[in-house]
């Protein structure tokens, strides 16, 4: 039998707390989410690898979402240690890469892995299943036209396509488990930790020749959301699990999307004291250049990305305000000074944190 340990902050017994599972628990979102939710819940992290969590915070259970036997073993450990009643499952585990337009891993991990996991959950009493989806599943919009949860979806590369497929399979196979789809924008924090943003900063910081060119509409933009705001949205979703309608989709992102030009100008001014001169480049030229650079190295910009440089996304987050009482407290443009400051303070650390050479 598990030992009953008093919580050091609230005096509540650990066994009195409801259980929350987090897949992908050692990732950028999962690890700090453990710290946040452990104050209220008994948290179990599920991941293939990862450091041990702080004492009294959570247990890490080995979990390979592509292996049905590994999932079964992990769930048996959870049943033995915590029982069969689970208040909420937060499904963050996913494959994501800018290195390729498509990959078998999108289907193997994101789609089929979720299918295998859901089958195992049918044997438990699960109160809620939160799926971390993406704003990129939507059909791109025009400036000033916000995307709500009922807008059409239209994927044009592997990652969002896998998210669309996974949302559909969850609807078909979630059984009696109440489900929430959080369609989340690109995460970032004061160290960067956003692949496109950190790459854009790197190009300007190094005064790379290509940093002065863009192959699309420079007034297009993507949706971003600060890590702390994502954690807040997830916590609110768990706390309000009994009040959220089943299979509801909720947009989680900043209500205004910074344009590529706004980011270029602000990053240039923060790094070099002046707005960054940026010129539009024909797509055919950009593709040829990306293809050539790809032969001699491993540049971030791939030829397949060029066709997507005009895509624009901006979210309507009124449902998040109404259902979760949530809206973001941060803005990427306001956080850029801190990101750049951390780069200047310790470039080696910043590059390492953002997996850059």
**Burial class of residue 63 (count of CB atoms within 10 Å of its CB; 0-12, 13-18, 19+):** buried
Distance CA 211, CA 207 (A): 7
Q: Do the domain assignments include residue 138? A: yes
Q: What is the pLDDT of residue 97?
A: 81
From the list 327, 322, 315, the residue with the least C-alpha distance to 146 is: 315
Residue 317 belongs to domain with CATH number: 3.40.50.720
Q: Given phi > 0 = left and psi -120 to 50 = alpha, else beta, which region is 299? A: beta
Low-confidence residues of the chain: pLDDT under 70: 1-15, 50-56, 283-305
Q: Is residue 107 part of a domain?
A: yes
Output the pLDDT for position 293: 60
What is the structure's pLDDT at 117?
Answer: 97
Q: b/e for 337-347, b at 16 or more Cβ within 10 A?
A: eebbebbeeee
Structural domain span for residue 174: 14-188+225-255+312-331
> What pLDDT, on the 0 to 100 scale, is given for residue 290?
58
Strands (E), the chain: 19-23, 42-47, 58-62, 85-86, 88-91, 125-126, 129-134, 179-184, 186-188, 213-214, 224-226, 248-252, 279-280
Rounding to the nearest 10 degrees, give the CA dihedral for residues 179, 39, 326, 218: -90
Is 172 part of a structural domain of the chain?
yes
pLDDT at 102: 85
Who contacts 20 (Cβ-Cβ below 8 Å, separation ≥6)?
37, 41, 42, 43, 44, 86, 87, 88, 89, 90, 238
pLDDT per residue as tens digits for the range 245-270: 999 999 999 999 999 999 999 999 99
Residue of 237, 189, 242 whose CA lies nearest to 92:
237
Judge whether 52 lies within some domain: yes
Interval 171-192: pLDDT, tens: 999 999 999 999 999 999 999 9
**Residue 60 lies inside a defined structural domain of this protein:** yes
Asked if residue 122 belongs to a domain, the reply is yes
Q: Per the domain annotation, does 115 fall within a domain?
A: yes
Pairing of strands 58-62, 42-47: parallel
User: Across the strands, what pairs with 134?
Assistant: 184
Sign of CA dihedral 347, 349, 352, 357: positive
Cα angle: 351, vertex 49, 230; to 5 degrees: 65
How many domains does the chain fold into?
Answer: 1
Taking the chain, what is the end-to-end CA distance rounded to the nearest angstrom?
49
Place of tokens 């080696």: 348
Residue 306 lies in a domain: no
Whether 64 and 23 have beta carbons less than 8 Å apart is answered as no
β-strands 85-86, 129-134 pairing:
unpaired
Contact 47, 25 (CB under 8 A): yes
């Amino acid at each position: 039998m598990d030992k009953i340990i008093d919580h050091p902050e609230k005096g509540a017994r650990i066994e009195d707390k409801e259980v929350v599972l987090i897949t992908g628990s050692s990732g950028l979102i999962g690890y700090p989410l453990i710290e946040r939710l452990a104050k209220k819940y008994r948290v179990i992290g599920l991941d293939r690898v990862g450091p041990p969590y702080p004492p009294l915070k959570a247990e890490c259970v080995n979990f390979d979402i592509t292996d049905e036997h590994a999932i079964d073993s992990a769930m048996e450990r959870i049943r033995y240690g915590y029982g069969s009643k689970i208040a909420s499952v937060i499904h963050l585990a996913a494959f994501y890469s800018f290195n390729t337009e498509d990959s078998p891993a999108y289907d193997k991990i994101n789609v089929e892995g979720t299918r295998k996991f859901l089958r195992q959950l049918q044997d438990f009493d699960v109160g809620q299943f939160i799926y971390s989806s993406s704003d990129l599943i939507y059909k791109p919009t025009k400036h000033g036209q916000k995307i709500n949860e009922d807008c059409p979806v239209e994927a044009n590369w592997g990652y969002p396509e896998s998210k669309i497929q996974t949302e559909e399979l969850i609807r078909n196979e979630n059984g009696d488990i109440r489900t929430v789809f959080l369609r989340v924008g690109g995460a970032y924090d004061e160290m960067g930790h956003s692949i496109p943003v950190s790459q854009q900063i790197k190009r300007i910081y190094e005064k790379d020749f290509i940093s002065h060119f863009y192959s699309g509409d420079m007034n297009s933009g993507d949706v971003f959301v600060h890590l702390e705001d994502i954690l807040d949205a997830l916590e609110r979703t768990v706390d309000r699990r009994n009040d959220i309608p089943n299979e509801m989709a909720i947009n989680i992102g900043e209500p205004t999307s910074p344009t590529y030009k706004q980011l270029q100008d602000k990053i240039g001014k923060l790094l070099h004291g002046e707005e960054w001169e940026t010129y539009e480049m024909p797509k055919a030229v950009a593709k040829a250049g990306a293809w050539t650079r790809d032969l001699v190295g491993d540049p971030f910009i791939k030829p397949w990305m060029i066709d997507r440089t005009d895509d624009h996304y901006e979210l309507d987050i009124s449902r998040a305000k109404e259902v979760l009482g949530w809206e973001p407290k941060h803005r990427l443009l306001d956080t850029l000074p801190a990101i750049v400051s951390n780069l200047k303070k310790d470039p080696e650390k910043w590059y390492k944190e953002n997996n850059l050479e």
